[in-house]
Every structure is written in C-alpha cells, then in structure tokens.
C-alpha cells in the first residue's frame, strides 16, 4: 500500500441565490423627510385614491345611463332625461374639490416647517445631518411632487367624468366648479397654497397658529383667483341688427356670456340701461331713434378658449409658487433655526 497523503476535498459551495431586482428605495434626507411626514403623505395618497375610485364609479353609472338613452347619437333632449341625480353628484364633487387647495395648505403645508421649528427638530437636523438649504430643498422636493401626483389624478378623472355633461346641463367649461377642478388649474392652485402654508409656518414658527393663518390665506387666494380667473380670456362679439326691441343674438353652445349691450348704426355700443328711464314707450322709442340704436350685441367667451385660459391662469399661479419657494430657500438659509 502506498502512503500517499490525500488532501481532503473542500465542501461544496452553497448554491448562489439568484439576485432579484432591487426596488428603488429612498435614502438620505429624502428618506428622512418621507419618514417624518409619512402619516400626512400616506393620508393624502389614500384620500386621493378613494376620491378617484368614487368618481370613476360615478362616471361608469353616468355612462351607463347615457348609453341607455342613445348617447351620443341621439338628441341631447333624449339622453338628458332623468339626468338630475347624476348632475347632483357632479355638483357635489365639484364643490368638495374646491376645498382641496385649502385642506392641503392647512394640513400639509403649514405644519411642514412649523412643527420642526416649534419642537426644535429643525436645529438638530440642520446642525448634524445637513445644512438648512439642503433640508429645505428636501422638504419642498418631497412634498411638491406628492401634491402634483394627487392633483393631476383628480383633475384627469374629473375631466373624464364631467365631459359628457358639459355644454348640455347649463354648465360649461367656464363654470367655476369645472374650470377650477380640471386641467392644470387645480395643480397650480394647490401647489401655491401648500408652499404658501410652508412659508407662513417658517415665519410664524408655531404649528397651530400657522394652520389658522394658512386657512385664511388659502381661502383668500381662492376667492381672489375666482374673481380674476377670466382676465386672460378674450371675449368674442356677435351682433343682431333687429332693432332696439329685437332679441339679442344667441350665444353658441358652451359659451359664457359676459356682456350685452345695444348696437348703434355707427358700430358703437350703449348699455342696456339706455332710455330705460323714459316716461312712456313712445318716449323710449324716440330716445332709441335719436341714439341710432339698430340692434343688440353680446360679448361671450367661446368654449374653445377654456384650455388656453386655464394654462395662462396656471402659469401665473406656478410663477407665484416659484417665488414663494425661492423666498423659503433664501430666508431659510440664514434664519430657519
């Protein structure tokens, strides 16, 4: 027998587990901000999902009703029969969605910085983990995209839900609840109120006080905006030369009448109060003849301008939001703590 030494064989290597695809994860300051405010973010996302699901359910019921009535091939008089319950739901949703910018500003924007400043967390984070500029940028960088995602989803679903009803049920794209809750307007309006709430919280440094002030700020923004939302629209004039006692020209479907007046032979317009104080019909007729009234004119906003006006309004709101964000970053670099 040979005395050849044998080397013990090495144990078999354990099977290498297949690496799965790693999911993207938040890290660093972004992870910290998300974890710190995860309750508010998840609540916002959950409420948005519930609202979208409810509106999609209502839209399906509306389309079933319209299809049973022959929509869109039949006459609107036919498929608008028994539509009142569906109109009521859209009106209810429209009024409720007008509160979204206010709620987001109060419960998401105002506490975003005020809570950390009041509790002292801001000083701890900005002196150990990151500087004030990075901390503020992360706060805004996480919050604004979340707001945009939620409001875009609401806007798209609202537009899909209400489109079959607009132009037929007395409301058009110019109606406040439709104009404000579709297109880019709700996104811009909510971003502006949220950033306004953040700025208020940074200045006041008290959570409850900031939420109260932000509420009045957001309400004021919506009221002022509603009063001036049509400033960028360009009215179109139509005339009717049927005399001073003739009927006014009809506004096309989907249009919004903004003014009505008398028309003179020279093309000038006179207010409807012209000759209204004359003592008799004969005296009024003489007055109209003296003023050379030959018909009436109507100024209206055509439906085709809705989208353009929404984008112009949203551009102003986005510009204001950008100014507020710059204010937050500049002020926060020196006075955040």
pLDDT of 279-337, one tens digit each?
Answer: 777 887 888 888 888 888 888 898 888 889 999 999 999 999 999 999 988 887 766 55
pLDDT of 119-158, one tens digit each?
Answer: 776 666 666 656 777 778 888 888 999 999 999 999 999 9
- pLDDT score recorded for residue 153: 95
- pLDDT score recorded for residue 167: 53
Cβ-based neighbour number of residue 207 at 10 Å: 19
284-to-269, 270, 274, 278 alpha-carbon distances in Å: 17, 14, 9, 5
Cα 17 to Cα 111: distance, rounded to the nearest angstrom? 46
288 token code pair: 């109209």
- pLDDT score recorded for residue 2: 45
Cα 297 to Cα 234: distance, rounded to the nearest angstrom? 16
Cβ-based neighbour number of residue 242 at 10 Å: 14
Secondary element (H or E) of residue 84: helix 84-97
Across the range 8-29, mean pLDDT stands at 52
Cα 66 to Cα 69: distance, rounded to the nearest angstrom? 5
Q: Is the pLDDT of residue 12 over 70?
A: no
Q: Name, in order, each residue with C-beta under 8 angstroms of 48's C-beta and a sequence gap of 6 or more.
A: 150, 153, 154
- pLDDT score recorded for residue 129: 57
- pLDDT score recorded for residue 1: 42
For the CA atoms of 179, 185, 186, 188, what is the dihedral angle to 10 degrees? -160
- pLDDT score recorded for residue 331: 81
183 token code pair: 């297109």
- Residue listed under structure tokens 């353009």: 308
Which among 95, 125, 101, 330 is positioned nearest to 214, based on CA atoms? 101
- pLDDT score recorded for residue 192: 97
Three-state DSSP class for 167?
coil
What does pLDDT average to over the chain?
82
- pLDDT score recorded for residue 77: 66
Q: Is the pLDDT of residue 11 over 60?
A: no
Secondary element (H or E) of residue 239: strand 236-240
75 Ramachandran zone, left/alpha/beta (phi>0; psi -120 to 50): beta
Cα 295 to Cα 288: distance, rounded to the nearest angstrom? 10
- pLDDT score recorded for residue 50: 95
323 token code pair: 């100014």
Tell which wins on pLDDT, 176 or 254: 176
Tell which wins on pLDDT, 33 or 317: 317
Across the range 65-74, mean pLDDT stands at 75
Across the range 80-90, mean pLDDT stands at 79
Q: How confident is the model at residue 18 (pLDDT cuts 50, 70, 90)?
A: very low
Q: Is the pLDDT of residue 105 over 70?
A: yes
Across the range 177-196, mean pLDDT stands at 93
Q: Please state whether the peptide bond connecting residue 72 to the residue before it is cis, i.e. omega within 30 degrees of 0.
A: yes
pLDDT of 201-217, one tens digit each?
Answer: 989 989 899 999 999 99
- pLDDT score recorded for residue 247: 76
8-to-14, 141, 258, 271 alpha-carbon distances in Å: 18, 60, 97, 109
Across the range 94-101, mean pLDDT stands at 92
Q: How confident is the model at residue 276 (pLDDT cuts 50, 70, 90)?
A: confident
């Amino acid at each position: 027998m040979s005395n050849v030494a044998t080397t013990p064989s090495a144990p078999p290597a354990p099977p290498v587990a297949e690496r799965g695809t790693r999911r993207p994860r938040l890290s660093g300051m972004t992870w910290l901000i998300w974890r710190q405010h995860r309750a508010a973010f998840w609540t916002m996302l959950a409420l948005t999902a519930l609202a979208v699901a409810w509106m999609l359910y209502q839209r399906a019921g509306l389309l079933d009703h319209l299809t049973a009535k022959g929509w869109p091939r039949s006459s609107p008089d036919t498929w608008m029969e028994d539509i009142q319950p569906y109109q009521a739901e859209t009106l209810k949703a429209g009024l409720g969605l007008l509160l979204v910018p206010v709620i987001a500003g109060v419960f998401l924007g105002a506490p975003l910085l005020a809570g950390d400043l009041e509790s002292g967390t801001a000083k701890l984070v900005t002196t150990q983990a990151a500087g004030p500029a990075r901390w503020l940028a992360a706060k805004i960088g996480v919050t604004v995209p979340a707001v945009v995602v939620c409001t875009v989803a609401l806007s798209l679903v609202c537009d899909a839900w209400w489109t079959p009803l607009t132009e037929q049920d007395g409301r058009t794209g110019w109606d406040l609840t439709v104009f404000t809750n579709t297109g880019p307007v709700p996104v811009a309006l909510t971003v502006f109120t949220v950033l306004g709430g953040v700025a208020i919280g940074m200045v006041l440094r008290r959570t409850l006080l900031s939420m109260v002030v932000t509420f009045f700020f957001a309400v004021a923004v919506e009221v002022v905006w509603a009063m001036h939302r049509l400033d960028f629209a360009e009215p179109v004039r139509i005339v009717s030369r049927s005399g001073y006692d003739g009927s006014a020209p009809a506004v096309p479907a989907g249009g919004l009448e903004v003014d009505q007046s008398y028309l003179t032979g020279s093309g000038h317009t006179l207010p409807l109060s012209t000759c209204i104080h004359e003592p008799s019909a004969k005296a009024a007729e003489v007055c109209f003849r003296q003023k050379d009234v030959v018909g009436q004119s109507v100024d209206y906003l055509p439906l085709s301008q809705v989208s353009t006006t929404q984008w112009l309004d949203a551009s102003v709101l986005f510009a204001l939001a950008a100014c507020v964000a710059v204010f937050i970053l500049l002020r926060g670099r020196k006075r955040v703590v």
